[in-house]
A and B are shown apart, each in its own frame.
Chain A
Amino acid sequence: MTSAIQVQGLHKSFGRTVALDGLDLEVTTGEIHGFLGPNGAGKSTTLRILLGLLRSDGGDATLLGGDPWREVEALHRRLAYVPGDVALWPNLTGGEAIDVLARLRGGVDEKRRASMIERFDLDPTKKGRSYSKGNRQKVALVAALSSDVELLLLDEPTSGLDPLMEAVFREVVHEFREAGGTVLLSSHILSEVEQVCDRVSIIREGRNVESGTLTQLRRLSRTTVRATLAHPVGAAQVESLPGVADVTVSGDHVACTVGSDYLGRLLELLGAHGITALTSAPPTLEELFMEQYRRASAVAP
């Protein structure tokens, strides 16, 4: 497998503000990679370095096998970018903006353009200034998807889209990946990342906190288990098991969280008490995310 994006120890400061503090990121060709982090974590800065708009202060960044700062022309032919807050030219229509951006990138794929406009339900004859935020976002998405590229850099691309359009977006991104494309999707909408992405990188204060598939990340995290038992169990007994925490027992109900590796031992104990009902919820990405953050802040000074 080859890497579409490879970033190692990336540093970038704006005056005294440190935006990136040794960021690592690897996006494999052909995957949809979620790039997660709260506002100000350095997601946009990373993307802008990858686009050659900003110059990094240190570290390595390789994009499609090239240097993003030096090989702007060659690399930009092969990628499309959608920012989170699209600004359009007030006196150009959406259709004109789509054509301009796709042409600058190397050409308009007429069939794709028409189908994207239809699927995103966009009126291309309106002037840029009269579009709502969601519609400006659609213009940028259609422009990005109307040219033939192998990499999409998306910076919170669905901000302002309604749920219906978010669904269209997810479909379209999946199709792009099916056709062999690679996607880096920066977002803080966890459900979106959960539904779309193959792998995820979580960053915080300009540093990578965790990377992996969702399954891998889940393994690192805790599962919530709730059970109703035929024979009540003592709280102390449950707590004595390795990897179990947050235990509450009331009557025949027991609830606790458990590390993925210790789930078997817990179920053995509960099984011995006669399980009549059991729910086990793997951590949502949200819980994962919050936990990564708790952990990271506990380590941080």
Chain B
Amino acid sequence: MTTVAPAPSPTARPAPRAAGAGLTGTLSLLRLAARRDRVLVPVSAFGLAAFAALSAQATFALFPDLRSAQESMAPTLANPALVAMYGPISSLGIDSIATFKSVLLGGVFLALLAYVVVRRHTRTEEEAGRLELLGAGVVGRRATLAAAVLLGTAAVLLTVVLTVGWSIGVGLDPAGSVALGVCWLVIGLSWVGVTAVAAQLTSSTRGTAGWSLGALAVAFLVRAVGDTAAADSPARFLSWLSPLGWGVKVSAFGENRYWVAALGIALYAVLVAVAFSLLERRDLGAGVLPSRAGHDRSRIGTAGALTRRLARGTFVGWLVAYVVLGVVLGSIAGSVETFIDSPEVADMLRALGGEAGSVTDLYFSTELHFAAIGASALSIALVTRMYTEETTTRAEAVLATPVRRVAWALGHVAVAVVASALVLLVSATVAGLVHGADAGDVGGTVTRLAGAALSTLPAVWVALAVALLLYGALPRFTGLAWAALIVFLLLGEFGDLLDLPGWLVDLSPFTHLPALPGGTLTWMPLVALTAFAVAVGAAGLAALRRRDFG
């Protein structure tokens, strides 16, 4: 920047700060941050816009007329599991059908982008000590946070503008396209604010992730309960308590409520203001919540025990989230039957769900497959910690002791396998308890749901094994494990909609899972998935054993 204030003479007293002070250098930092994110932000924005526009275009191509689209979508619209995932459909028009799956899901992805950008340039920088390097230069106290918030906001705006333009381009209703933009704007801006606050609260990147992503999960669940509640239930109001619910309430291609933007912008303004006032109250490197002193002794005596100890926080967080998920799934299940008002739809659902499938079974099976994708994310997060441990050189300290590399890696795999199985099992059990109490058969429901949850594990293991192979063979591309999981998710969710060839859809391990509860349990795919996971995982370990470490 060229407009730097003249340096004060050594004897000059510090001038009283104006309210906007402390922002010197914001523009330089913003440029630096934008440069570092010059791939991440445009590619994500472009990808999200393409996601909305192209899936809509594919739907148009797939259905020659509105009636065939409505017929094909009817079971989806009536399945509360999908309403819980995607929000209620805004209307029965073709535009609503074409964007049903992308509106909320895209909003969540945009929230993740906002979170990544803001966290990267605040807490991550501070933890790495780079902020200190910058803070020593001519940079105001508030400049880094300001730059991160501005870049996050710019990323959201860029995505929204691209999406609106592209949507109109593929023939979606212009007014509705703008409403879609409003929906994403509300969600994206909210998470710029949420992450800005979260970065001030804790003193670690992981803590920031916990608060910001935890808030996203809570917001999602709150609106899921609200959106699936019976029409006359007071629980419907819950959707208005969640920024993700606001996004749904915009009702793009339906009622197009532009004014909801005001809610999102207000929340954004409040959260950013809170973040700046928290920033004033803390020191560089610290959080508002204090870092407590701990024990001076430890009983950990094996590498496996160390891995378990390090994974504890993440596991407990996921466990709590999955207990809540179980409660939510179990309580929604009670209203599944009443949710479907037309008997024709109920018949169609039964036909879809297989010979013995009831509507409730179909609902649970759909939700458990989503939960399994979530559990895969947990297992990937836990197993790719090896990469973090390696790049931070913490693993080096462990491997300089008599611990063997493969044993160390197997410890991580074991933690990931057990943790992902436990969260799924606990969630299914809780859902079974809640729904079983409603339905009057606690034991039976719990057994059926727990069994169904276990049947999803082989697919989780495949995702885990892919991550292990990447880490072992191509450590620098460990992050691609996440891309693989997202591809699995999209293949499963959009395979039919985009009319993708069967072999492509079959690439996702989740495609091969039996539809339990209710469907038939076929062992063959489960055995094949497990064998595949073991082979891929073993290849990963063999590569790890041979390569240079660190």
Contacts and interface: CB of A to CB of B under 8 A. Distances in A.
Interface of A: 48, 51-55, 72-74, 76-77, 79-81, 83, 85-97, 99-101, 103-106, 124-127, 129-130, 140, 143, 153
Contact of A125 (B295, B398, B400): B295
Interface in B373-405: 392-394, 396-405
17 contacts: A48-B550, A52-B399, A53-B396, A54-B550, A55-B548, A72-B402, A80-B400, A81-B400, A87-B392, A90-B204, A93-B298, A94-B296, A95-B298, A97-B298, A124-B296, A129-B203, A143-B397
Most chain B CB atoms below 10 A, which of A90, A97, A125: A90
A91 B309 CA distance: 10
Contacts of B297: 95-96, 99
A174 B70 CA distance: 83
- In the A-B complex, the 5 residue pairs with the closest CB atoms: A95-B296, A96-B298, A104-B401, A81-B400, A93-B294
A76 B408 CA distance: 15
Given A83-B393, A127-B291, A130-B291, A99 B298 contact: yes
A87 B402 contact: no
B477 interface: no
Contacts of B549: 48, 53-54
Interface in B286-316: 291-303, 306, 309-310, 313
B394 A73 contact: no
B206 interface: yes
Contacts of B402: 72-74, 76-77, 104-106
B303 to A, nearest CB: 6
B550 to A, nearest CB: 6
A140 B398 CA distance: 11
B403 A87 contact: no
Contacts of B403: 76, 104
Contacts, number: 120
Nearest to B286: A130
Interface in B162-207: 203-204, 206
Contacts of B310: 89, 91-92
Contacts of B400: 51, 53, 76, 79-81, 153
A15 to B, nearest CB: 11
Interface of B: 127, 203-204, 206, 291-303, 306, 309-310, 313, 392-394, 396-405, 546-550
Contacts of A124: 296
A167 to B, nearest CB: 25
A77 to B, nearest CB: 5
A129 B127 contact: yes
Contacts of A52: 399
Most chain B CB atoms below 10 A, which of A55, A93, A106: A93
B83 to A, nearest CB: 39
Given A96-B298, A101-B401, A104-B401, A83 B291 contact: no
A99 B300 contact: yes
Contacts of A153: 400
Nearest to B206: A90
Contacts of B313: 91
A92 to B, nearest CB: 7
Contacts of A73: 402, 404
Contacts of A93: 293-296, 298
DSSP class of A's interface residues: helix, strand, loop or mixed? mixed
B3 to A, nearest CB: 35
Contact of A96 (B292, B295, B399, B404): B295
A126 B293 contact: yes
Nearest to A78: B402
B127 A96 contact: no
A79 B206 CA distance: 33
A53 B401 contact: no
Contact of B298 (A79, A100, A127, A140): A100
Given A53-B548, A73-B404, A104-B301, A140 B397 contact: yes
A80 B397 CA distance: 9
Contacts of A143: 397
Nearest to B405: A72
Nearest to B305: A100
Most chain A CB atoms below 10 A, which of B203, B403, B548: B548
Contact of A104 (B293, B396, B398, B546): B398
Nearest to B394: A87
A36 to B, nearest CB: 22
A101 B295 contact: no
A93 B298 CA distance: 9
A104 B404 contact: no
Nearest to A56: B548
A92 B295 CA distance: 9
Nearest to A140: B397
A103 B293 contact: no
A70 B549 CA distance: 14
B397 A81 contact: yes
Nearest to A103: B301
Given A54-B548, A87-B392, A104-B302, A72 B294 contact: no
Contacts of A92: 294, 298, 309-310
Contacts of B394: 87-89
A143 B313 CA distance: 25
Contacts of A80: 400
Contacts of B299: 99
Given A93-B293, A129-B203, A130-B291, A101 B397 contact: yes
Contacts of B127: 129
Contacts of A54: 548-550
Most chain A CB atoms below 10 A, which of B293, B297, B298, B302: B298
Given A72-B404, A90-B204, A125 B399 contact: no
B401 A105 contact: yes
